[in-house]
A and B are shown apart, each in its own frame.
Chain A
Amino acid sequence: MPSKDKVLEEVIHTENIDIDAVLDPAEPDGVFRDSRECAALALQAGGTQLLLSPPTPRPKKG
């Protein structure tokens, strides 16, 4: 019973796997993503709205 590797070996042997494509690969597509803008922390946004409002009071335990 041939092992998986043996079978693969046969494939490579018999078809002489086309490694030309691997040897001279086409360029992958470029990946472009730019930094996002994040306004400075605690900087007022819009004109009326408050950023970073004070923490919500937690209910007291007990």
Chain B
Amino acid sequence: MEQSSTSALLQGTVLDLASDVVSALRSGDHVRAGSTLTGGGAGEGVARAAVRVLGADALLPSVLLRVPPDPGQLAVFKDAVAAHPPRDDAAPAVVWSHWAMARTLRRVEHPLTGPDAAEPAAEPGAAWLDEAGWQTLTHQLAVLAPLALPGEECAVTRAARRRPVDVARGFVRAVRRRDWQQAAGAGRWLTLLDGVPDTLGLAAGLDFVRLMGGSDPRVALQLEAARLMPAAVLL
């Protein structure tokens, strides 16, 4: 079996999973029928890896809409967190996306006491973002879009809040490059930041990204999150 077809299957599963999340965010409930994780479509290992790739956003409907996750989905999510810990030499974005998953898991499992009740791993550092130019900053924030949540408080969100203009510039750059995934992720962040220049035209920009790139469920997921963000309160 070639590695390329393995990763093609993984990417396909990530897209299916993202579609599930988009449907759930749009309908306000879980899509139980035909769910990628519980429908037995993909093998366990692939599903687990796909959840790891989609990251904390796999449980975004539960977090944003305050509905309890499907037990089967939750189990796969837990497995994904356990099976794919970051390596010692992992890039900061990899470490942070894993941290975000662990944090989401605690939020979902301890909704009453909040995440602080069982705070495990120490928060990673975000110095790499502070040292990054605006291009890299935006790219990395888009990769870490699952951390863009109302009321989220961590080093990455603080780094983003310090540089709203730079993220807005990154959004412009991503649209110019037709990198819709980055544009959508940056757009999601921008809905949370104060100090974004009005002239950016964010609302029209998000509509434009949906028009151009919304057929990719990973793009649609970010745009749905951005749509719900202003009204949402963190679980």
Chains A, B in direct contact (C-beta < 8 Å): yes
Interface of A toward B, CB cutoff 8 Å: 5-9, 11-13, 15, 17, 19-20, 22-25, 27-32
Q: How far is the CA of A59 from the CA of B22 in the complex (A)?
A: 57
Q: What are 20 A-B residue pairs whose CB atoms fall within 8 Å in the complex?
A: A8-B5, A8-B45, A13-B45, A15-B3, A17-B3, A17-B10, A17-B49, A19-B49, A19-B53, A19-B84, A20-B90, A20-B91, A22-B11, A22-B53, A23-B53, A23-B55, A24-B93, A24-B94, A30-B177, A30-B178
Interface size on B, residues (CB 8 A): 32
> Are the CB atoms of B6 and A8 closer together than 8 Å?
yes
Q: Which of A11, A15, A29 has the most B CB atoms < 10 Å from its CB?
A: A11
Q: Is the interface of B mostly helix, strand, loop or mixed?
A: helix
Interface of B toward A, CB cutoff 8 Å: 1, 3, 5-7, 9-11, 14, 42-46, 49, 52-53, 55, 84, 87, 90-91, 93-94, 97, 139, 143, 176-179, 182
B1: which of A11, A20, A23, A30 is its contact (CB, 8 Å)? A11
Nearest-neighbour CB distance to chain A for B50, whole angstroms, equals 9
**In the complex, which residues of chain A have a beta carbon less than 8 angstroms from the beta carbon of B90?**
20
Q: How far is the CA of A22 from the CA of B94 in the complex (A)?
A: 9
